[in-house]
Structure 1
């Protein structure tokens, strides 16, 4: 893959065959929202793992990016337009995830422990 080609950042050959099938230009591919929600649930840091994972920057970034994908695929965020509350929220989450990856954000500590 040419690193300077931005027209398709992820080669189709790396995606599962079912994921490459798309619906009409007016809709997202079938089950894409459900799959995004499943990924977001998988990557979300729950209460049991919070203290161990809260400072892990790639994990926090992945959690935010997965949440952004859920918002992007929302019913009020059709693929043919770049507008709407869901897309604005997706942008905010992506920027937050990027800040974790860049190291611009860090865990502020647990307020219940006096930090």
Structure 2
């Protein structure tokens, strides 16, 4: 029997991608949610999870995770829209 190529269950990638799509802040909600620390952190953590499950670059996973932690801790803030 051949071992699986990844340690993840078959449906893990699809579920992680679905979660990321649910948490992603789209154009319609951007102004309302852009400063919500928990929402921004969750969106970035979900993106990091997707990258990890896709066997993406570990540096990308780490950067997304660090950025998420910055939002969650309140170290990062939305700089505002330059057009306003």
Query: What is the TM-score when the length of structure 1 is the normalising length?
Result: 0.67
Unaligned runs of 5+ in 2: none
1:12 alignment partner in structure 2: none
Which of 1 and 2 has greater Rg? 1
- Give the structure, 1 or 2, with the largest relative contact order (CA under 8 Å, sep 6 or more): 2
Query: What is the TM-score when the length of structure 2 is the normalising length?
Result: 0.90
State the number of aligned residues: 81
How large is the RMSD of aligned CA atoms in angstroms?
1.3
1:72 alignment partner in structure 2: 52
SS of match in other structure, 1:63: helix
The answer to whether residue 7 in structure 2 is matched with residue 36 in structure 1 is no
More helix by share: 2
Runs of 4+ residues deviating >6 angstroms: none
Unaligned runs of 5+ in 1: 1-23, 78-83
